[in-house]
Amino acid sequence: MIVILISLAAYNFTLSMESEHLATRNGGDRLACRQAAFSVVEVLASIMERPRSQRLADTLPINQPIDLWPDDTDAADKSDWKLQAVVYQGPNASGSEPSQRLLTESAKLNLRSSGPGGSPSPDSLQQSLLRLPGMTAETAADILQSLGRPTRNSGKPVDDGPAIVELLPQHTSDLSSDSDNPSDAWRTWVTMCSAERNETFEGLPRININADSLTQLHQQLSKRVPLPVANFIVLARQHGINKTSSANTPLDSVNVDLNRRSIYRFESLTELFDSSVSVSESNRKRQTVASPIDRVNGAAGLDVARLLDQLTLTSARRLVGRVDVATAPVEVLAVVPGLDTTSAGAIVNARSSDSNGWVHPIAALASSGLSATVVDTALPYLTVGGDVVKVTVVGRLGQHGPTYRCRVLVDASWGKTRWSVLSVR
């Protein structure tokens, strides 16, 4: 009897030890999956911190498994316990299939900001929302109320409906839905955190043509753009700008007095197209000079996209809410001021492998064959790229082993990349 009792005790002890061993191993495996997921997020954060020109060569596979261990391909294929990570994103610009290209939040409609105009008015935002697929008037009213912008056409109080916290999480833009319900399609294309660094394609700070010091402005411009462009911008700041290209004097024959104060501030970079400046000096005939920038060919050998990419209208280091012409779908582009479904479709149809190298949205608009009026209206609300991305990252150990799944927001729009976990499953 004593022997039997001792044997049972030993058996129970062995089972207990094996259970603890399995629990420890499972915990360790899940921790390895978590570290795998976070390692890939760190790589993504590093890529997003680089200039757009460098990101093209340092892409991260999307919706494809990435083998982390063993790192030998043959060994990994034979191992059922290979450590992998997968970066998932939603549908492509047509909304029909997963994308193989990393989409930033700038491919979506920002509900809090609409570009240079800042926060959109309730009426304009409501009209924009109603043009998204699956959006209803009731849902649009719920969204506007959650943003603190009541609508004028809601004849009755907005009922609880879908929980506002579910519609618009306060600290994230995690609005995507796994539902196949067509009424949820709008969730894929709205955000609250699209933003970008105010820098060129190569990563240089853009030149603020509305800067206070005209001497410093002229010096900065002279290093990046042709001298006639630098002179014209300074003259426009000193004398104002005419919305006509007629002129009676060559630009190079007009003296630029950098000590003269500025009286004018640009409202749009498109003012540099088809315009002129009238220079009036004492005891001299009024001289009018035309802009040296051609909206198609640029100036002095510098194409118009690279020229405009050097310039900005603000000293802000971060720009919010502009829409990416290279990846946004028709549904989002169509709500940009100046665009409609037809012009948005023309932009999407103009995309090709060359769109990866677009340095400025003017290139996309020019390729789309849009009129000058449409270009001038839409350009301030558009960008190429973006510095905030939202992805789902899964770390897994083998095909049937433990996994770690997290939803992550990576924000490189502040210069130094920040990332945070939105949810874990």
pLDDT per position as a tens digit, 411-421: 999 988 999 99
Copy the structure tokens of residue 391: 């992805």
Nearest to 20 by CA among 278, 12, 363, 377: 12
pLDDT per position as a tens digit, 328-386: 999 899 989 899 999 999 999 888 756 666 899 998 888 888 999 999 999 999 999 89
Give the DSSP H or E segment for 88.
strand 83-88
pLDDT per position as a tens digit, 243-281: 988 888 898 888 899 999 999 999 999 999 999 999 987
pLDDT bucket at 145, cuts 50 / 70 / 90: confident
pLDDT bucket at 296, cuts 50 / 70 / 90: confident
Who's near 43: CB < 8 A, 6+ residues apart?
A: 60
Copy the structure tokens of residue 49: 């911190």
Contact indicator for 105, 191 with CB cutoff of 8 Å = yes
Beta bridge partners of 242: 276
pLDDT bucket at 143, cuts 50 / 70 / 90: confident
Better-scored residue on pLDDT, 6 or 170: 6
Copy the structure tokens of residue 383: 């960008």
Residue 185: its pLDDT value, please? 75
What pTM was computed for the model?
0.81
Better-scored residue on pLDDT, 381 or 120: 381
Residue 17: its pLDDT value, please? 53
